[in-house]
């Protein structure tokens, strides 16, 4: 096997300049390892192996993973996903490496709020989701090659439709009512808009598309439009355009090349980023970074996908999303060389056809992981 070249990242970084810089390089990082449920522990274990391999190859740092058993099993035994002092526990780490949460016998709103949202809200207000077609993989779109689809979606991660405001009354009666109140604040919009503009500015095309639904939603979404247009004045070198979310699904599908950095609300970006992952080939390759730009809290890195009950324990889960996620975590920690090394090895593995079933291959989680480690060591 020919050694792989560590080439420059084909994209600009996910993390724009202008925010808290990484702390000084460390020789040892402490990372909270939260596999969670379903395939979460399977892919996170694979990610841990790959990070250890990169650290060993480079010899400049190591990572101490602190495995925490916060999961639906813990909830079923103790009534809680996390211990009371979970924020204090997490703060002792440089980053959080998270799998997925969700179990067939726990309602999804209990599991999501019990673990993932408990950790991410409200500090990690920027949810950054890169999408591109990896070499050796295919988009379901006709005539869409690697390079034609290269997006970075910025999702507002702390408020909006997922603020948790609302309630239910008259339970069980015919006139039962449930409300889900969307919360948008000037502060929340401004800070995520600045993040997205800085990110767009750091990417070669300097192009930002922001998404709202300010025709039908005439209050909060109009506030979004107003605040974004104010923030845009701070970034005259960034070209900005606006899409309504329904039309955005059409543009993503029919004109993927016309997009670069994308900013949207919590709900809209949640949906658009799943579409993005599918258009790029598979939900099994898509990474997410939940960033606290102030670095008050350790940021959390996770694959986009969920706990995938249908393939849990079968050794079929695609670990590529987790490897890409690991690269973003290492980038955030300032370990750019390790991030590039893992990404290059992952891309080479895809190019060599060592792929899981979701990408049309026949390899299992272990084969893909071993292949990536082999390429890291041979680099």
Residues that bind ligand NAI (CB under 6 A): 39, 43, 100-102, 108, 112, 116, 283-284, 302, 305-311, 317-318, 321, 356, 358
Distance (Å, whole) CA 234 – CA 242: 17
Q: Based on the residue annotation, tell me whether 37 is a catalytic residue of this protein.
A: no
Nearest to 245 by CA among 185, 160, 168, 170: 160
Map residue 208 onto helix, strand or coil: strand
Distance (Å, whole) CA 228 – CA 212: 11
Q: How far is CA 172 from the centre of its chain?
A: 38
Distance from the first to the final alpha carbon of the chain: 10
Instruction: Please pick, among 9, 73, 225, 274, the residue that the annotation labels catalytic.
Output: 274
Q: Which does 45 bind (CB under 5 to 8 A by kind): ligand NAI, Mg ion, none?
A: none
Work out how close the CB of 306 gets to ligand NAI at its nearest, in angstroms, rounded to a whole number: 2
Question: Which residues ranging from 158 to 187 are in contact with Mg ion (CB under 5 A)?
Answer: none
DSSP secondary structure string for all residues of 29-43: EEEEEEEESTTHHHH
Question: Which residues ranging from 303 to 322 are in contact with Mg ion (CB under 5 A)?
Answer: none
* Stretch of 27-35, 47-55, 182-190, 263-271 lying at the interface with Mg ion (CB under 5 A): 263-271
Residue with tokens 């990572």: 63
Work out how close the CB of 328 gets to ligand NAI at its nearest, in angstroms, rounded to a whole number: 15
Structure tokens at 279: 């258009």
Structure tokens at 227: 């605040």
Instruction: Please pick, among 69, 148, 241, 246, the residue that the annotation labels catalytic.
Output: 246
Output 209 or 282, the one with its CB closest to ligand NAI: 282
Map residue 217 onto helix, strand or coil: coil
Q: Which does 354 bind (CB under 5 to 8 A by kind): Mg ion, ligand NAI, none?
A: none
Q: How far is CA 176 from the centre of its chain?
A: 36
Output 270 or 292, the one with its CB closest to Mg ion: 270
Q: Which does 270 bind (CB under 5 to 8 A by kind): Mg ion, ligand NAI, none?
A: Mg ion
Q: Based on the residue annotation, tell me whether 270 is a catalytic residue of this protein.
A: yes
Structure tokens at 234: 């701070």
Output 69 or 176, the one with its CB closest to ligand NAI: 69
Output 209 or 288, the one with its CB closest to Mg ion: 288
Q: Which does 108 bind (CB under 5 to 8 A by kind): Mg ion, ligand NAI, none?
A: ligand NAI
Work out how close the CB of 6 gets to ligand NAI at its nearest, in angstroms, rounded to a whole number: 26
Pairing of strands 299-303, 287-291: antiparallel
Work out how close the CB of 293 gets to Mg ion at its nearest, in angstroms, rounded to a whole number: 22
Instruction: Please pick, among 75, 81, 125, 162, the residue that the annotation labels catalytic.
Output: 162
Check binding of 302 to Mg ion (CB under 5 A): no
Helix, strand, coil content of the chain in percent (nearest 5): 40, 20, 40
Instruction: Please pick, among 260, 270, 292, 331, the residue that the annotation labels catalytic.
Output: 270
Q: Which does 284 bind (CB under 5 to 8 A by kind): ligand NAI, Mg ion, none?
A: ligand NAI
Instruction: Please pick, among 81, 125, 213, 358, the residue that the annotation labels catalytic.
Output: 213
Work out how close the CB of 124 gets to ligand NAI at its nearest, in angstroms, rounded to a whole number: 13
H or E segment and range at residue 251: helix 245-254
Strands of the chain, DSSP E: 28-36, 62-67, 95-100, 126-132, 150-156, 160-169, 177-183, 207-212, 239-244, 261-264, 287-291, 299-303
- Which of 42, 159, 270, 292 lies at the binding interface for Mg ion (CB under 5 A)? 270
Output 311 or 326, the one with its CB closest to ligand NAI: 311
Work out how close the CB of 305 gets to Mg ion at its nearest, in angstroms, rounded to a whole number: 9
Q: Which does 155 bind (CB under 5 to 8 A by kind): Mg ion, ligand NAI, none?
A: none
What is the DSSP secondary structure assignment for residue 113, as one 8-state letter? I
Site size toward Mg ion (CB under 5 A) is 1
Those residues with Cβ within 8 angstroms of residue 77's Cβ, 6 or more apart along the chain or in another chain: none
Structure tokens at 366: 């272990």
Cβ pair 145, 135 in contact under 8 A = no
Work out how close the CB of 309 gets to Mg ion at its nearest, in angstroms, rounded to a whole number: 16
**Catalytic (active-site) positions:** 162, 213, 246, 270, 274
Residues in contact with Mg ion by the rule CB under 5 A = 270
């Amino acid at each position: 096997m020919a050694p792989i070249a560590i080439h420059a990242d084909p994209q600009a970084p996910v993390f724009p300049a202008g925010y808290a810089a990484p702390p000084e390089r460390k020789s040892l990082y402490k990372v909270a390892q939260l596999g969670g449920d379903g395939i979460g522990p399977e892919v996170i274990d694979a990610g841990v192996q790959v990070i250890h391999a990169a650290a060993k190859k480079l010899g400049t740092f190591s990572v101490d993973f602190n495995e925490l058993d916060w999961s639906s099993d813990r909830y079923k035994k103790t009534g809680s996903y996390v211990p009371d002092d979970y924020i204090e526990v997490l703060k002792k780490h440089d980053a959080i490496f998270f799998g997925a949460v969700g179990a067939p016998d726990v309602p999804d709103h209990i599991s999501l709020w019990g673990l993932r949202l408990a950790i991410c809200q409200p500090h990690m207000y920027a949810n950054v989701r890169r999408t591109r077609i990896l070499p050796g993989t295919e988009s379901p779109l006709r005539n869409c090659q690697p390079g034609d689809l290269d997006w970075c979606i910025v999702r507002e991660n702390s408020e909006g439709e997922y603020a948790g405001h609302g309630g239910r009354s008259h339970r069980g009666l015919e006139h039962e009512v449930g409300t889900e109140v969307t919360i948008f604040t000037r502060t929340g919009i401004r800070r995520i808009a600045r993040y997205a503009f800085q990110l767009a500015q750091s990417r070669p095309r300097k192009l930002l598309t922001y998404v709202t639904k300010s025709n039908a939603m005439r209050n909060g979404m109009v506030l979004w439009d107003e605040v974004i247009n104010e923030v845009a004045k701070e970034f005259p070198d960034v070209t900005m355009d606006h899409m309504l979310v329904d039309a955005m699904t059409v543009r993503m599908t029919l004109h993927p090349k016309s997009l670069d950095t994308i900013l949207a609300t919590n709900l809209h970006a949640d949906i658009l980023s799943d579409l993005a992952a599918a258009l790029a080939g598979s939900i099994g390759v898509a990474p997410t970074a939940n960033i606290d730009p102030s670095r008050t809290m350790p940021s959390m890195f996770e694959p986009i996908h969920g706990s995938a009950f249908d393939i849990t324990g079968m050794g079929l889960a695609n670990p590529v999303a987790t490897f890409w996620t690991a690269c973003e975590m290492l980038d955030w920690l300032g370990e750019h060389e390790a991030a590039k090394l893992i990404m290059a090895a992952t891309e080479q593995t895809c190019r060599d056809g060592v792929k899981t079933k979701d990408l049309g291959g026949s390899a299992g989680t272990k084969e893909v992981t071993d292949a990536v480690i082999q390429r890291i060591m041979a680099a």
